[in-house]
């Protein structure tokens, strides 16, 4: 792979008009949307620079994003830059909206990871970097907000290297000056390849200045480090370094290009995205080093043989335009009105923030929105062969937070499920479920904010107002003692009456046994044809026991009874079963059972003690902890916890893990619950029943 040069790929030369895609990713508030704004401004795509704070940026244009001042879904904008077409995808930073970030990363040629200049914050990059590295996506780390950074760049590099398995290559060192307030401020940078010094301006390209003499030792040291790292993947450079020969700049540029494209190194650039500082340097690095579409298709094992093929990575439902499938064209050209793989391609649109511009055709490399191709969803390709699922498209993370929803207006229930289906198609990390056990409609997702945004959308876009509640826990009850019970049902109503008489024995069974019915009738004292009715009657009445919950783990034996040749019926035996249980069960010392889940919490190791305390504080029983496989500096803590304690646990986990901790659960067992909590649950379910 390393020897593929840009020149050998058709259309693969900077300035050839090819279309490349770059994802701008990184944590919430690291400055991605501001950086996009500066890129659009610096390339002339917009005439004035908006700001995320004032709500005037091209990114974050959706009403849910504007309202919160944070990205809640991906934003796409394309620009012309020095004879090439570029599409930048600004993705949400919060882990709750991470699915959109991964979807954009799946189709990009390269990623820019926008980092806060704070070593203690690098841990929040871990989930993102893990996805990027696992998928071998070439990426640049852009250390942002360098204007106000107080940290030394070498400390920042050391911190970043702890979470990166790729070798980091610092390409610039900052020029600092004592500011009026006594702190240091960054006023420019030295480019370590060209060894030129630049002074930042508040807007526009930086000025070339003379190399500050006092910076030379630091510049030399950083340059040597850069070359040494590059030489790990290039023997020619290694030999030159050993023999103390100064390498040609062209060799350094070539190594940077090849090693970046092969995802062997991750270059690190510095800047301040909200004031264009370092933005042109970043653009130039991307221009020279970002792989072209054919190379990316090869990395993804997608065909790029010139025949039309595209992949949908995001669906949007718009009230006027209907379903829009955001796609990347991997190969060939797509034209308006064409039929591909049985799907008629209608209007082609090019997104620019919230705006959609009509275009007549889309070429390989481009991002295009298809209108009303209803069959095409995210994670699918469309070609002459039809619609096929993409194997490596990111799967949705399992949900960690749920709410029970009900339409404020009962007539809206059908509308609600239809709207939910659309919202989930836009964001597959949301899901919903009709829970039969508790008769609830559950909306599940990645956190509190994630669901709030979904509920906002339900109201604003689909006009369905909902009420939310914490989901109910599916409690059960069982018995601790056995008993025998005699029940007789007898009615005389006009013509023939009703008669059934049964004797049953009720006995507790071990946990997990469910309900078992035993028939010990001899001599036909209860006729064969009525016995299933007894069993059915018992089953129906075990749905709600004396404590108001379904009764489990018990055996009921029918051992005696009487019948009447005219008056007995299935109905009367069912009634007798009901009486037998309602009189028998309360004598059996019923007890509440609560579901206990096995929980595995994944978080940065430094948070492990806090995670353990949090679990203990929620009636959890710690089972142990271990390093999280494949994640350096992360642990997994496992525990047994009551389901009731998990409902809002993610909120607390996020708050002790800088927002990146997560967990998964599986049902483990039912456990007896007594005392005040049990009394409260029984009372609540009685109130609900009444
Ligand atoms: N000092 C400074 N602030 C910045 C810079 N870039 C962004 N910001 C501020 O950081 C905040 C978050 O920026 P935004 O672009 O919305 O971050 P995002 O969540 O990553 O998209 C805003 O208040 C920006 O004005 C920068 O380079 N320097
Ligand atoms: Mg943003």
pLDDT digits (tens, 9 = 90+) for 239-292: 999 999 999 999 999 999 999 999 999 999 999 999 999 999 999 999 999 999
Distance from Cα 94 to the centre of ligand 2, integer Å: 9
Work out which ligand 1 atom sits closest to the CA atom of 52: 16
| Backbone CA torsion sign across 332, 338, 343, 345 | positive
DSSP letter at 390?
-
pLDDT band, residue 63 (cuts 50/70/90):
confident
DSSP H/E element including 467: strand 466-469
Fold adopted by 401-469: Alpha-Beta Plaits (3.30.70)
Ligand 1 surroundings by CB, under 6 angstroms: 26, 28-34, 52-53, 70-71, 93, 144-145, 147-148, 272-274
Pairwise CA distance, residues 642 & 510, whole Å: 20
Distance from Cα 93 to the centre of ligand 2, integer Å: 7
pLDDT of residue 494: 72
How many other β-carbons are positioned within 10 Å of the β-carbon of residue 485? Answer: 19
Work out which ligand 1 atom sits closest to the CA atom of 272: 27
Three-class secondary structure assignment of 415-435? HHHHHHHHHHHHCCCCEEEEE
pLDDT of residue 6: 39
Domain 6-298: CATH superfamily is P-loop containing nucleotide triphosphate hydrolases (3.40.50.300)
**Residue 614 C-alpha from the chain's centroid:** 23
Ligand nearest to the CA of 31: 1
Query: Can you read off the two tokens belonging to residue 432?
Result: 């919903």
Average pLDDT over residues 81-92: 96
Architecture of the CATH domain 300-389 = Beta Barrel (2.40)
Average pLDDT over residues 371-375: 94
**pLDDT digit string, tens, across residues 639-673:** 999 999 999 999 999 999 999 999 999 999 999 99
Of 54, 77, 274, 277, which is best to mutate to test ligand 1, by the most ligand atoms within 8 angstroms of its C-beta?
Answer: 274
Query: Can you read off the two tokens belonging to residue 270?
Result: 């510095």
Work out which ligand 1 atom sits closest to the CA atom of 273: 27
Ligand nearest to the CA of 270: 1
Q: C-alpha angle with apex 443: 442 to 447, nearest 5 degrees?
A: 130
**b/e string for 403-432 if b means 16 or more Cβ within 10 A?**
bbbebeeeebeeebeebbebbbbbbbbbbb
User: Which carries the bigger pLDDT value, residue 7 or residue 207?
Assistant: 207
Residue keyed to tokens 């028939």? 519
Distance from Cα 683 to the centre of ligand 1, integer Å: 51
Could you tell me which CATH class the domain 592-689 is placed in?
alpha beta
Pairwise CA distance, residues 646 & 583, whole Å: 36
So where are the chain's domains? 6-298, 300-389, 401-469, 477-588, 592-689
Distance from Cα 31 to the centre of ligand 1, integer Å: 4
Three-state DSSP class for residue 574: helix
**Is the distance from CB of 450 to CB of 101 less than 8 angstroms?**
no
Pairwise CA distance, residues 463 & 266, whole Å: 46
Of 31, 121, 272, which is best to mutate to test ligand 1, by the most ligand atoms within 8 angstroms of its C-beta?
Answer: 31
DSSP H/E element including 572: helix 570-584
How many other β-carbons are positioned within 10 Å of the β-carbon of residue 641? Answer: 25
Distance from Cα 28 to the centre of ligand 2, integer Å: 7
Q: In CATH, which of 3.30.230.10, 2.60.120.10, 1.10.10.10, 3.40.228.10 is domain 477-588?
A: 3.30.230.10
pLDDT of residue 203: 84
The 431-435 sheet, strands edge to edge: 431-435, 440-445, 401-407, 466-469
| Backbone CA torsion sign across 242, 246, 248, 252 | positive
Distance from Cα 73 to the centre of ligand 2, integer Å: 9
Same fold, 477-588 and 592-689: no
Pairwise CA distance, residues 259 & 221, whole Å: 21
Torsion of CA 198, 202, 204, 208, to 10 degrees: -20
pLDDT band, residue 148 (cuts 50/70/90):
confident
pLDDT of residue 1: 36
Three-state DSSP class for residue 403: strand
Three-class secondary structure assignment of 21-78? EEEEECCCCCCHHHHHHHHHHHCCCCCCCCCCCCCCCCCCCCHHHHHHCCCCCCEEEE
140: alpha, beta or left? (left if phi > 0; alpha if psi -120 to 50): beta
β-partners of residue 380 are: 312, 389
Query: Among 335, 332, 330, which Cα is nearest to 306's?
Result: 332
């Amino acid at each position: 792979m390393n020897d593929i040069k840009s020149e050998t790929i058709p259309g693969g030369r900077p300035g050839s008009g090819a279309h490349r895609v770059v994802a701008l990713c990184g944590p919430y508030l690291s400055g991605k949307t501001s950086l996009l704004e500066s890129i659009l401004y610096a390339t002339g795509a917009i005439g004035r620079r908006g700001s995320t704070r004032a709500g005037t940026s091209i990114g974050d244009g959706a009403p849910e994003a504007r309202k919160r001042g944070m990205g809640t879904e991906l934003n796409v904008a394309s620009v012309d830059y020095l004879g090439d077409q570029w599409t930048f995808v600004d993705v949400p930073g919060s882990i709750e909206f991470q699915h959109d970030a991964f979807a954009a990363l799946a189709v990009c040629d390269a990623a820019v990871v926008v980092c806060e200049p704070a070593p203690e914050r690098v841990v929040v990059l871990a989930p993102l970097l893990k996805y990027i590295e696992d998928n071998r996506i070439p990426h640049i780390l852009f250390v942002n907000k360098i204007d106000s950074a107080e940290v030394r760049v070498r400390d920042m590099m050391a911190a970043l290297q702890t979470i990166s398995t790729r070798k980091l290559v610092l390409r610039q060192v900052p020029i600092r000056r004592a500011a009026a307030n006594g702190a240091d401020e960054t006023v420019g940078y030295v480019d370590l390849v060209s060894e030129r010094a630049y002074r930042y301006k508040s807007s526009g390209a930086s000025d070339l200045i003379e190399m500050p003499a006092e910076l030379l030792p630091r510049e030399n040291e950083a340059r040597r480090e850069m070359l040494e790292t590059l030489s790990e993947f290039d023997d020619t450079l290694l030999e030159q370094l050993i023999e103390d020969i100064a390498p040609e700049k062209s060799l350094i540029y070539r190594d940077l290009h090849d090693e970046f494209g092969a995802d062997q190194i991750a270059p690190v650039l510095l800047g301040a995205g909200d004031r264009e500082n370092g933005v042109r340097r970043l653009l130039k690095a991307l221009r020279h080093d970002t792989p072209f579409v054919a190379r990316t298709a090869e990395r993804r094992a997608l065909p790029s043989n010139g025949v039309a093929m595209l992949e949908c990575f995001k669906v949007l439902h718009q009230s006027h335009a209907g379903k829009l499938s955001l796609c990347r064209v991997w190969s060939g050209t797509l034209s308006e009105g064409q039929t591909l793989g049985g799907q008629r391609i209608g209007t082609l649109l090019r997104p620019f923030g919230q705006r959609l511009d009509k275009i007549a055709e889309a070429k390989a490399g481009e991002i295009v929105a298809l209108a009303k191709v209803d069959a095409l969803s995210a994670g699918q390709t469309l070609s002459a062969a039809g619609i096929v699922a993409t194997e490596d498209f990111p799967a949705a993370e399992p949900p960690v937070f749920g709410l029970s929803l009900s339409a404020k207006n009962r007539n809206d229930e059908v509308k609600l499920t239809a709207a939910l289906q659309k919202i989930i198609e836009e964001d597959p990390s949301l899901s919903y479920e009709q829970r039969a056990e508790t008769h609830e409609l559950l909306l599940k997702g990645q956190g509190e904010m994630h669901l709030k945004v979904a509920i906002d959308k339900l109201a604003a876009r689909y006009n369905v107002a909902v009420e939310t509640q914490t989901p109910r826990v599916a409690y059960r009850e069982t018995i601790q003692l056995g008993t025998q019970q005699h029940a007789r049902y007898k009615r005389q109503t006009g013509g023939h009456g009703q008669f059934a008489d049964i004797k049953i024995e009720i006995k507790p069974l071990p946990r997990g046994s469910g309900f078992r019915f035993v028939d010990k009738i001899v001599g036909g004292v209860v006729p064969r044809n009525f016995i299933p009715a007894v069993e059915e009657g018992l089953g129906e009445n075990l749905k709600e026991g004396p404590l108001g919950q379904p009764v489990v783990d018990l055996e009921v034996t029918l051992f005696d009874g009487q019948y009447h040749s005219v008056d007995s019926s299935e109905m009367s035996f069912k009634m007798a079963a009901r009486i037998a249980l309602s009189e028998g069960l309360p004598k059996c010392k019923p007890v509440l059972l609560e579901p206990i889940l096995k929980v595995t919490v994944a978080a940065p190791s430094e948070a492990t003690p806090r995670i353990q305390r949090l679990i203990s504080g929620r009636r959890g029983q710690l089972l142990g902890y271990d390093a999280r496989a494949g994640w350096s500096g992360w642990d997994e803590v496992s525990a047994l916890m009551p389901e009731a304690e998990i409902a809002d646990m993610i909120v607390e986990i996020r708050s002790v893990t800088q927002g990146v901790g997560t967990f998964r659960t599986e049902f483990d067992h039912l456990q007896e619950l007594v005392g005040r909590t049990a009394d409260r649950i029984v009372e609540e379910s009685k109130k609900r029943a009444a």
